[in-house]
Structure 1
Amino acid sequence: MGGKVTLVGLKANQFRHPLDLEATQALRQLPGLDMLIRSLIAPLAEQIFYLDNIASSVLVGERQLPEIHRLLVEACRILDLDPPQLYVRQHPVPNAYTFAMRGRQPFIVVHTSLLELLTPAEIQAVIGHELGHLKCDHSVYLTLANLLTLAAGQLPFGELVVPNLQAQIMEWIRCAEFTCDRAALLVTQDARVVASLLMKLSGGSPALASQLNLEAFLEQARSYDAVSTSQLGELVKQIRTSELTHPVPVLRAREVDHWASSQDYQRLLRLEPGAQGRSQMSGGWRNW
């Protein structure tokens, strides 16, 4: 994994997806939402999540799972970001998630079942994706999204207020995921690695991973686009995604493919003086 471009001075808006920017601006227009989350909701929620995590997970470090620690350190160096804590948690559902608490070091959690499914390069793509949330300061709205799912139907008038806010938050999360997939690409500097990760999240298992075909998965992504040629197909896709916290994997793979071929991406790889030609790209190309 050596020889990658280190993106010295990288800023979030240099790789933020336009849909993420638009959805974030829409949330910021809601009166008092940011203040409510930062001052009342987030401190208590994050403290609970943090204590639960450190009590039941393993902290990665130089002496604990050192290979995964090395992947984290390299990813942080590439994205010009201070390393957060990284925990590994025993769990049968493949997933990874991020928290950034006020006054505490941010932390990332990766489930063991996800690690068992992936190659080292794909694990680093997961880490890069989660670091994208930290680089773009997504943590405030992510905390709210987790709580809204629990609050629906339990708060006064929750059946009226929560669904409307939850729909807007879920839309924001789906847009933010496109940005974090870009962060994964910047870390791996190989779009096929990110696409392979998304393929395994769609239908992989440790037993099936060696039989999966990346080219066939990319063709599948193009077939998904073709469904939109009819109004019925577009409606079906909208219904399918409206309740999800993440865009469907084939759509994420398509977006990574497009951005890997863009001038914006190529320019970012040349941010460091003399870095031209050092990219390791091998192709145009949470509930994680």
Structure 2
Amino acid sequence: MATVTLSSSLFSTQKPRTLSFSYGVSSDKLNHTSFSGNFKFGSMKQSRRMRLVPVCRAAASVVFRDLDADDFRHPLDKQNTLLLRAIPGLNDLGRALLGTVTEQIMLLENIGTSVLVSKNQLPELHQLMTEAAEILNLEAPDLYVRQSPVPNAYTLAISGKKPFVVVHTSLVELLTRKELQAVLAHELGHLKCDHGVWLTFANILTLGAYTIPGIGGMIAQSLEEQLFRWLRAAELTCDRAALLVSQDPKVVISVLMKLAGGCPSLADQLNVDAFLEQARSYDKASSSPVGWYIRNAQTRQLSHPLLVLRAREIDAWSRSQDYASLLKRAMKMNTVHTF
């Protein structure tokens, strides 16, 4: 298999970057300059900084011992992944352009600027990650915490080496523990579904197409639009992974709501039901022919679905027979964590 570097940034208001894809607020045109996206929120009170408490799980919490990625993959993700696989020469191009130097740069940069989470280092964060991985039937990657005022999280997976997730301190400050675990589960969803492989190859192919004289620009633009469609679908899949771990749609929707307009000082006033009603009002406002055109023009080159639409999607899936069937197949967790 090719040596692959993937960067999956969890939430981002900036453009997706070379060898990367974002998971948060929608971003627009590709910008091939660095590895991760970001977004800003207000600062957190000092008294709450990095204060972690164990997740309190209900006795009914379950794990998915035989979970396969296709069990929760969004239909649009399946469809667009097949389209990416059909691009001639994508794997060969990835093998040619990716190598150990890129791997080492990203790995050493992360090790040198972050804190590695373990049983002896930020153990409660370690618990959140290991529990989420257990629920999704996945080996837990390494988890790093990086000091940054920009709330963000992303995943890197390097062929032959253990993948790792990076979480910024400001994201920890913004979210509750259950919400933070949903974020980690979203990142695990990218690993479970091998999303980064296809994104990396597609980014490289898009970059290479720009160098072809004459028609290169048209080819690259077409690939960009296809890549954006896949990215938006992949995010819907990983929101489902977050729900499988949290097993409470309001937790996942709360994360999306806070990304849309939350801050620590207003957290106790936010209302998930009102946010879902806002999503329904968006659907109504965009249902006319003019609204439909504006909506498509607004989202065609975004790397993420709009946050209100992601909230509506996860709410709908939480009520679906597919989700109910997955829960019926699951097993109760061996350990129940309490405060």
Q: Do the structures match in fold with TM over 0.5?
A: yes
Residue 142 (structure 1) aligns with: 199
Structure 1 equivalent of residue 145 of structure 2? 88
Separation (CA, whole Å) in 2 of partners of 1:99 and 1:27: 20
Pairwise CA distance, 1:166: 2.0
RMSD value over aligned CA atoms? Answer: 2.3
SS of aligned partner of 2:155 = strand
* 8 A Cα contact 1:152 1:159, kept in partner: no
| Corresponding residue for residue 54 of structure 1 | 111
Distance in 2 (CA, whole Å) between partners of 1:204 and 1:153 is 39
Equivalent residue in structure 2 for 1:36, among 93, 98, 112? 93
SS at match of 1:207: helix
In 2, Cα distance between the equivalents of 1:177 and 1:270?
A: 25
Q: How does 1:72-151 map to 2 (within 5 A)?
A: 72-144=129-201, 151=207
1:280 matched to which residue of 2? none
1:121–1:88 CA distance, 2 compared to 1 (3 A): same
- The answer to whether the 8 A contact 1:174-1:247 is kept is yes
Task: Tell me the CA shift for residue 6 of structure 1.
Answer: 0.8
Sequence identity of aligned pairs in percent? 55
State the distance in 2 between where 1:43 and 1:141 align. 19
Segments of 5+ residues of structure 1 without an aligned counterpart are 276-288
Q: In the alignment, is the contact (CA less than 8 A) between 2:93 and 2:201 conserved in 1?
A: no
Structure 2 counterpart of 1:228: 286
User: Of residues 62, 76, 81 in structure 2, which corresponds to 1:19?
Assistant: 76
Over 3 Å counting, the alpha-carbon distance change for 1:264 and 1:162 in structure 2 is same
Q: Which of 252, 258, 272 is the equivalent residue of 2:330?
A: 272
Structure 2 equivalent of residue 66 of structure 1 = 123
1:8 equivalenced with 2:53 (yes/no):
no
Aligned residues: 274
Paired residues of 1:23 and 1:171 also in contact (CA < 8 A): yes
Task: Name the stretch that deviates more: 41-50 or 120-129.
Answer: 41-50
State whether structure 2 residue 229 is matched by structure 1 residue 191.
no
- Which letter does structure 1 place at the counterpart of 2:123? P
- Structure with greater helix percent: 1
For residue 170 of structure 1, what is the aligned residue in structure 2?
228
Q: CA deviation at 1:116?
A: 1.0
- The alignment partner of 2:161 has SS state of coil
Q: CA 1:230/1:194 → structure 2, altered by over 3 Å: closer, same or farther?
A: same
Amino acid in structure 1 at the alignment position of 2:138? L
| Contact 2:182–2:243 (CA under 8 A) maintained in structure 1 | yes
| Structural mapping, 1:252-263, within 5 Å | 252-263=310-321
* Cα 1:42–1:93 shift into 2, 3 Å: farther
TM-score, normalised by the number of residues in structure 2:
0.75
SS at match of 2:167: strand
Letter of the aligned partner of 2:74 in structure 1?
H
CA displacement at 1:92 relative to structure 2: 2.4
TM-score, structure 1 normalization: 0.88
Structure with greater contact order relative to length (CA < 8 Å, sep ≥ 6)? 2
SS in 2 for 1:108: strand
For residue 270 of structure 2, what is the aligned residue in structure 1? 212
User: Residue 270 of structure 1 aligns to a residue in which SS?
Assistant: helix
Do 2:72 and 2:241's aligned partners in 1 also have CA atoms closer than 8 Å? yes
Provide the C-alpha distance between the structure 2 equivalents of 1:243 and 1:114, rounded to a whole number of angstroms.
Answer: 26
CA distance 1:44–1:21, shift in 2 (3 Å)? farther
The alpha carbon displacement at 1:223 in A equals 0.9
